[in-house]
Chain A
Amino acid sequence: MSTATLTKPHQGFDVRKFLANNGALVGLLVLALALFIITPDFLTGPNLLNIGIQVSTVAILAFGMTFVIVAGGIDLSVGSVAALSAMVSGYMFVSSGLPGGLALLVGLLTGLVVGTVNGVASAYGKLHSFIATLAMLSIARGLTLVISDGRPIKTAPEVSFLGGNVGPVPTPIIVLVIAAAVASFILNRTVIGRSMYAVGGNAEAARLSGLPVKQITVTVFALAGLFAALAGLLLAGRLDSAQPQAAAGYELDAIAAVVIGGASLAGGLGRISGTIVGALVLVVIRNGLNLLNVTSFWQQVVIGVVIALAVGMDVLRRKTRSS
């Protein structure tokens, strides 16, 4: 299995190549180092755990988004789907008296179903995924408000457990690690994962090679829905309640994380490791700016500039490499 790395004609470790190919990671390390020097609050246990908890939601949403973007689509509905899944789970627990464990599963299932609807609309309904999921962004958020009547609903203890701790480690971080491993495994090792790259790279060539492009598209969106539901449940678990406005706007963070991580919106490129780095970049910047008492208004400006810089540099790098 590891022959892939062994047969490459590497002669020692090429530092320059590594830096060029991992710009976001280098940026993250520089950022962390700078914060470490500027403020003593950065490199403390509680702050790092806090970063870990915040990254978990963004990154898990972004894993689902990575599948979609690798396959050449976009999913604008993940924030709403996260909220809806948590809300349905809470509602089933509180109003229907469903056992907590089942309520958790129903939450995940909600994301899977909504994601499948996105996929079917995009693959068979011939809607561009931007439009299909833009519609779903509104529909899912609306349903969340309808179910909750605009009020938070208490979550099942099993869901709250996701927001708690296992020993000294916050559960979201453990969930993040597992989700990353699963997502990476799907993308790198499974037939469906490898097919995503082909579909995103050239859907027509993939179809002519016998890959079931429509089924792959549906699966990709279903997975994005499932990961969104997981993120939504984590978020609800931390607050012990499903909030009607939870995760609003998170789809943009997820897209930003994937793109900073080196994926191309044209499809066919992207890695889970990159997405984690992308999510960390976003969260660490916010965290650092908070520690430095920068207002949240300015934070938005900074985040925007970082996204533009990160992606701009990546485009530039690809251009110089390909010519």
Chain B
Amino acid sequence: MTDRSSDSNAAEHPGEPLVTLKNISKSFGPVKVIKDVTVNVYPGQVQVLLGENGAGKSTLIKIMAGVYQPDSGQILINNEPVTLANTRAAEAHGIATIHQELNLVGSMSVAENIMLGRTPKKFGMVDRRELRRQAKDALDRIGLRVDVDTPVGELGIAQQQLVEIAKALSINARVLILDEPTAALTKHETENLFRVVEELRAERVGMLFISHHLEEIAEIGDSVCVLRDGEFIAEVPGSTHEDELVRLMVGRSIDDQFPRRIVEPETPQKVLEVEGLGSKDRFSNISFDVKAGEILGIAGLVGAGRTEVIRAIAGVDRHDAGSVTVRGKRLPKGDVGAAIAAGIGHVPEDRKVQGLVLDATVNENLGYATLKSSSRLGLADFAGQRQKAEEIAKKLRIRMHNIDQPIRSLSGGNQQKAVFGRWIMAASSVLLLDEPTRGVDVGAKVEIYELMNQITAAGGAIVMVSSELPEVLGMSDRILVMRDGEVAGVLSAADATQDAVMTLAALDMDEDQ
């Protein structure tokens, strides 16, 4: 193919591609989001699509899935040009998408979900035996062992995802589009998913894989197509070094992924003290303190109780034992307002569900925590709030057209900065961060880390829960490891290694490796 990049690094591909998006361009109104991009998906190969938020990845996969029509360019399936008028047409050609938001009906069984729309019938009634058999075949294909009669809602997110993959395969999908499938998975679940990917590779299914986790690419990807601002930048082998991938992706090298600057205050004062905190069935006997200028990282496996501890400190959930003290003042249980008044700011795990009012403007979202405290006689201080919001949006470099834009239209990284901004506006001195960079691209990540540096430099204290070990190791001053709802140990950043943290987090857990 003469139109492909002449990059000598270009990956080797066996045989003919299953699907080719050839010289695709797409505009929304005046904005050109995809400019002359070519991507191939080969049988038995994992093609990674890499790029920052806004690079055009999701538009591209939507074109492949039949959601959008390209303005120009061709879609080839087995080298035949086709038109994918809608998602049904794409599915008919064997292209299935596993979205981040899964398309399953929680109250229906695994078998019913897999066979949805194709329920086997006998005398006009559901043939349950055949339903179960076909569903079981589909699950066997990817080696997933769950009871097909279980309601899907009772499965964890990782298993639900596998059910969806089984469903796609059972409709003879030959091309799977995996849109950030690992974003919500633990390390262990991710490995499980990758085992399934290996099996699909052996079955010669072609896969298009999107991920923000660079370290996964070497593990799973055969070839990486890098996009930047809607343009094709390069196609490189999956084994390409992470630093090089980042450089291609952002167009400059990010020297330091974790730019932690430790500040030693003259008199290290304890800002947050947690004593014997416990909540039935969730966590018990959690004690730690955080000093001004310090970042305490909380590591642990998913389900270790990290988020629950953070929520109890923030007053979102009630705890039943122990105490939380901020600057010598003990907080009442389960009272978000009191926690905020004491200087606590909480950046929750899921910004869309817990952090933001998506239809409201950037201005309003920044101002919720200070709506009451800035008011007089019950009247909101619009002018004052707005001025502060504008200053903060500028300071945090929230990229937007204007502050009255619905926050829904911002990219993930900028939305996350707005959640931070709310607490900066409230002048919070203790920030509780739950997965602060989840679903955020590399550039915005570094900005968020810089923000954390600024907060601690100004005497603030930070507690950060993160499932990304490099982040915990790179940004924390001390690391508290949780296991089964208890403190498994505390490490100083200097002594901590991935192995040391994982040993504490997973000790006496049955890790079958």
Chain A residues within 8 Å of B, Cβ to Cβ = 1, 3-4, 7-9, 189-195, 197-198, 201-202, 204-212, 268-269, 322
Q: Which residues of B, 311-369, contact A by the 8 Å Cβ criterion?
A: 314, 316, 336-337, 339-340, 346, 348, 353-360, 364, 368-369
B316 contacts A207, C-beta separation under 8 Å: yes
Q: Name B67's closest neighbour in chain A (CB-CB).
A: A323
| Interface: B167 (CB within 8 A) | no
| Interface: B478 (CB within 8 A) | no
Q: Name A267's closest neighbour in chain B (CB-CB).
A: B359
Q: Which residues of B, 400-421, contact A by the 8 Å Cβ criterion?
A: 401-402, 404, 408
A28 to B474, CA, bound (A): 61
Q: Which residues of B, 33-92, contact A by the 8 Å Cβ criterion?
A: none
B378 contacts A191, C-beta separation under 8 Å: yes
Q: Which of B133-141, B380-388, B459-467 contacts A (4 or more CB under 8 A)?
A: B380-388
Mark contacts of B288-317 with chain A using CB atoms, 8 A cut-off: 1 yes-contact digit, 0 otherwise: 000000000000000000000000001010
A4 to B401, CA, bound (A): 15
B336 contacts A210, C-beta separation under 8 Å: yes
CB distance from A9 to the nearest CB of B (A): 6
The 5 A-B pairs with the shortest beta carbon distances in the complex, nearest first, are A201-B357, A209-B368, A210-B340, A202-B357, A191-B375
A192 contacts B378, C-beta separation under 8 Å: yes
| Interface: B371 (CB within 8 A) | yes
A87 to B396, CA, bound (A): 58
Q: Name A9's closest neighbour in chain B (CB-CB).
A: B402
In the complex, which of the residues A194, A205, A210 contacts B354, with contact meaning CB atoms closer than 8 Å? A205
> Could you name 16 residue pairs across A and B whose Cβ atoms are closer than 8 Å?
A4-B404, A7-B402, A7-B404, A9-B402, A190-B375, A190-B380, A193-B380, A202-B357, A205-B353, A207-B336, A208-B354, A209-B336, A209-B369, A210-B336, A211-B371, A268-B359
| Interface: B422 (CB within 8 A) | yes
A4 to B382, CA, bound (A): 9
A4 to B385, CA, bound (A): 11
A210 to B358, CA, bound (A): 17
In the complex, which of the residues A9, A190, A197, A204 contacts B364, with contact meaning CB atoms closer than 8 Å? A197
| Interface: B372 (CB within 8 A) | yes
In the complex, which of the residues A204, A207, A268 contacts B360, with contact meaning CB atoms closer than 8 Å? A268
Q: How many residues of B contact A (CB 8 A)?
A: 33
A209 to B386, CA, bound (A): 17
CB-CB under 8 A from B358, the residues of chain A are 201-202
B359 contacts A206, C-beta separation under 8 Å: no
CB-CB under 8 A from A195, the residues of chain B are 371
| Interface: B379 (CB within 8 A) | yes
In the complex, which of the residues A189, A201, A205, A210 contacts B372, with contact meaning CB atoms closer than 8 Å? A210
A205 contacts B355, C-beta separation under 8 Å: yes
Say what secondary structure dominates the interface of chain A: helix
A244 to B364, CA, bound (A): 44
A51 to B379, CA, bound (A): 34
A218 to B383, CA, bound (A): 28
A8 contacts B360, C-beta separation under 8 Å: no
A193 to B369, CA, bound (A): 15
CB distance from B319 to the nearest CB of A (A): 16
CB-CB under 8 A from A197, the residues of chain B are 357, 360, 364
CB distance from A136 to the nearest CB of B (A): 27
Q: Name B372's closest neighbour in chain A (CB-CB).
A: A191
A191 contacts B379, C-beta separation under 8 Å: yes
A123 to B359, CA, bound (A): 23
CB distance from A208 to the nearest CB of B (A): 6
A208 to B337, CA, bound (A): 9
A4 to B340, CA, bound (A): 28
B336 contacts A189, C-beta separation under 8 Å: no
Q: Name B355's closest neighbour in chain A (CB-CB).
A: A205
Q: Which residues of B, 419-453, contact A by the 8 Å Cβ criterion?
A: 422
B402 contacts A4, C-beta separation under 8 Å: no
Q: Name A207's closest neighbour in chain B (CB-CB).
A: B336
